[in-house]
Structure formats: C-alpha cells, structure tokens
Amino acid sequence: MIEDETPTEQALGTLFESIPDAIMIHDAETGEILAVNDQWWALFDASPATSHECSIADISVGTQPYTKSSYVDYVQQAADRDLQVFEWQADTHHWVEITMRQVTIEGKRQVCAVARDITERKQQEQELRSYEILFENTTDCIVEIRPTADGPRIQHVNSAFEEVFGYTEAEIKGAHLDDLIVPDERMDEATEINRRSAEGTKVTREVVRETKDGRREFLLRSANYQEEFFYVLYTDITERKQHERQLRETKRDLEQSNEKLERFAYIAAHDLQEPMRMVEAYVDLLEQELGDDLDDELREYMEFAVGGAERMQAMLDGLLQFCRVETAGDSFEPVDTCELLAEIQSDLHLRLSDDQVTIGVLPTVTADRDQLALVFQHLLTNALEHGSEDLHIEITATERDTVTEFAVADDGPGIPEYRQDDIFDLFDTDSEGTGIGLAVCQQIVHRHGGEIWVDSTEDEGTTFHFTIPDEPG
C-alpha cells in the first residue's frame, strides 16, 4: 500500500491489512490521505488500483457539516494529540464512526483514522425519530402494548390517546388495556381481537370503547404482535357515525314523506278526474238544453268553464305522469332513438310537419322506452307552444365516455335568463302550459341517472340537453 517501504513500514503494512476495521492514514499537516487498507475499500464498495486514487472529497458527502474542510479540521486536531471521535456521512448511502489519533511512523507525524460502518444504526435512528414524530403528532390514539400471561399491558401512549381517553401515561402505564377501556359486554370481542393479533393477523374493526367522558366509537387497527410489543391504533369516528345515523334517519324520513306525498298526489289526481269530467259533461248538457236561448254572454261563460275544466284535466294528467315516473316505470332495455323519434313525429304530425324537424344520427341507448318517448314529446311540445309558425327544431346526439347527450334545439323566442333556473319546477307558475311537462322530463332523466339542463338566449332560441348513461339507474 505504501511505496518504497522500509522493513518497519512493511511490518506495519502487514498489520495495517490484517486489522478488520477500515483504516486511513493522513498527513498530519494537510490531511491528505496517504494510505487506506482493503477493508476501507470494502466498506465503500470500491476497488481502486492504488491509494492515490482516493481523496478526502471521496469520503465527504459535501454538504455541511460533512465537507472536506471540516474533515481536515478533525485531522489537525488529532495531530495536536487531541483524540477525535465523530460520526461522518461519507456519501448519501454510508455513515461511519471515525476515531482519529496521532501516530508517528519512521519519525513522521501522521494521523490514523479508524472507521466503523454505522449506516444501519443511523437508518434505525432515523426510522425511530420518524416513528416518534408520527407517534406524538398523529391525531390517532396509539397504544404500545406488551403482551403478558394475563393480558395486554400498556407500555406507552401518545398525546392523542391522553386527550381522547382522558388518561395520562403516568396513570395507566402497566395497566391492563381491556380492563381500562373495554365495556363489559364487549370483552369477548376484545379477547378475539387480542387472539387474532397474537396469531400475527392485522385486525381492523369498528369498536366502542370507554373514555373518562363516556363511550365513544373508534376504528381499531392492530399491528402484528412482535416478540416484545405490538400497537393498537384508535381513530375516533364518533362524530362520523353520529352523522351517518342522522343521515340515515333523515333519508328514511324523506323517503317516507316523499312516498306519502306521491301517494297523495296520485290519489288526488286520479280521484279528481271524474269530477272534472262531470263538469265538462254537464256544461255540454246545459248547452244542449238551452240551445237557441243561450245569449253570447252565457255562451262565453260556458266556454270559460269548459276551458278551465280542460286545463285542470291536463294538469291532472301531467301530475299522474309525474307520480308514475318512479312507481310505474318499465325496465331499461335497448331503445332505437331514431325509430322512437319517427313514432313521435307521426303522433304530432297535425302540429309538427316533417320539414320543421331535422334529426341527426341518433344511437341506440338503454332506457325505459315509454319514458324516453315522454321526454322527447314534452320537449317538442314545449318548443311548439312557444315557437312561431315557421319554427324549426333540430335533434342531435353526442356519445361521450359513459353517457349519450341528446340536444333538442329550436329557433323560438328563447327563455329569459332569470327564468332558466325555475323552468323544471313542478307547476311552474310562469309557464304557458300546465307547468308540469319539464318537471316530468327532469324526473325521468334523473331516474335514468342522467342530467338535464337548458341553454338559451332571449330572442335567439333554446336548446335542451339531457344525458342517458350507458348503464342507467
């Protein structure tokens, strides 16, 4: 290792290479590395041809305080007969503990540095620091447990446990965990959790535990048993579980309320149809009985009565449609929308001519056929009710990732912006029709799992969009 060696140096060289520790010889004045043994190269997974290929820069990570100048300072302090023992980061992967002392070889003052690999220890220390930071700063309650013959004993708890359960570590260290926080009626559950953890199974379960302030609900997670200890984590889910119960109760109440309202609306709409038919029938009979005796004023009054009855009948029909969307819908099946639109056009041929409608290429979708037809009928009727004689309607479809988006566009008068948020409301008071058709459309589209909305500019036409998912429901 050392060139032009004397017999003494040769003897030292033999000793130098036989020592199991990594050794470096430094010039006492400059800190320059004069020699290193094979163990040093093995420590750093290197194999240079000669020691001269090594420099202090090679054993310094280069960031403060592990720089070349800092290392030379250690060498010079050791050269002044001041023993130096320090930890050193040689590179991003290696930590060593170095012991330096002055030696004299053939009358020359040098410094011998002995390095021991402490990389594993440093990694363990870093992991321990990370664990301690996590242990003390997590919002989860953590208990370190030592298993004993008579059950799990508390070894250590974090600050979150102290805050939630109300016990300080000093109060409960060494106590039996189950006796302290497990309700009597849940002891069998706790015993089962301990048994499974002891077998090396990670347990996750929602549990109820006692705190100083009363019972709370937790998500329990246990880490595997180790030879000396294991961990139990408790995440407080009390408020979440309370909210879930409240939501379930609110949902149940709403469903019952909606069911009652739908039943009432259905019965009311169904039972009111007969009186309305009677009104129309008796007005007709009255008109026939009076015959030529009817003056213009009486005839006008009777027309008002018949018109009101007809409007009421239309509203009742619409209300029944609305109520039946959820209760009387058919199953979803493939529907050829081109074929469906052709049938609707035929039904509306007295009000809507073929040259007033342009239909693009429409796909087959999965839907309730009758309800999808009702959506198109209401949207077309809505355009006819508000448009002029030269109205033109265009129907298109766009297939997106998981839905098909339909658009029904007209060049009618448009909808004022202030009205656009209300047009889907049931019995829309500003509607010229029954105020139910668009509400029925929305109900049907939502039943399919889609959305419906409107784009409109006053005096520039209106486009209704709605989506039908590929997998509705």
Where is pLDDT greater, at 275 or 24?
24
Contact 111, 84 (CB under 8 A): no
Average pLDDT of span 413-436: 71
- Residue 194 has what pLDDT? 79
Continuous segment of H or E residues that includes residue 438:
helix 437-447
DSSP 116: E
Where is pLDDT greater, at 87 or 323?
87
Residue 289, pLDDT above cutoff 60: yes
- CA 95 to CA 205: how far, in whole Å? 42
Q: How do residues 93-152 score in pLDDT, each as one tens digit?
A: 788 899 999 988 778 889 999 988 888 888 888 877 777 777 777 888 988 888 777 777
Continuous segment of H or E residues that includes residue 395:
strand 393-399
Residue 169, pLDDT above cutoff 80: yes
Contact 344, 380 (CB under 8 A): yes
Q: How do residues 38-52 score in pLDDT, each as one tens digit?
A: 887 777 666 655 444
Maximum Cα–Cα distance for the chain, whole Å? Answer: 151
Cα angle 338, 344, 349 (rounded to 5 degrees) comes to 120
Using a CB cutoff of 8 Å and minimum separation of 24, what contacts does 69-76 make?
71/31, 72/30, 72/31, 74/98, 74/100, 75/26, 75/28, 75/31, 75/100, 75/111, 75/113, 76/28, 76/29, 76/31
- Residue 273 has what pLDDT? 64
Give me the count of residues in the chain: 473
Per-residue pLDDT band at 241 (split at 50, 70, 90)? very high
- Residue 222 has what pLDDT? 84
Average pLDDT of span 294-314: 74
Answer yes or no: pTM beyond 0.75.
no
Mapped onto helix, strand or coil, the DSSP state of residue 207 is strand
Q: Which of 104-108, 160-164, 305-309, 463-467 has the lowest mean pLDDT?
A: 305-309
Q: Which of 15-19, 322-326, 338-342 has the lowest mean pLDDT?
A: 322-326
- Residue 311 has what pLDDT? 67
Mean pLDDT across the chain, nearest whole number?
81
- Residue 10 has what pLDDT? 62
Q: How do residues 138-160 score in pLDDT, each as one tens digit?
A: 888 988 888 777 777 888 899 99
Instruction: Write down the H helix ranges in 1-118.
Output: 7-18, 38-43, 68-79
Where is pLDDT greater, at 427 or 208?
208
Where is pLDDT greater, at 269 or 371?
371
Instruction: Write down the H helix ranges in 184-334.
Output: 187-198, 238-290, 296-327
- Of 146, 127, 135, 110, the residue nearest 25 (C-alpha): 110
Residue 434, pLDDT above cutoff 60: no
- Residue 245 has what pLDDT? 92
Q: Which residues fall within 8 angstroms of residue 88, CB to CB, at 6 or more apart?
A: 59, 60, 66, 71, 95, 96, 97, 98, 115
- Residue 316 has what pLDDT? 66
- CA 235 to CA 244: how far, in whole Å? 16
Q: Which of 71-85, 152-166, 183-197, 275-289 has the lowest mean pLDDT?
A: 275-289
Residue 271, pLDDT above cutoff 70: no
Query: Looking at the DSSP assignment, which residues form a beta bridge with residue 98?
Result: 86, 115
Phi then psi for residue 334, to 5 deg, are -60, 130
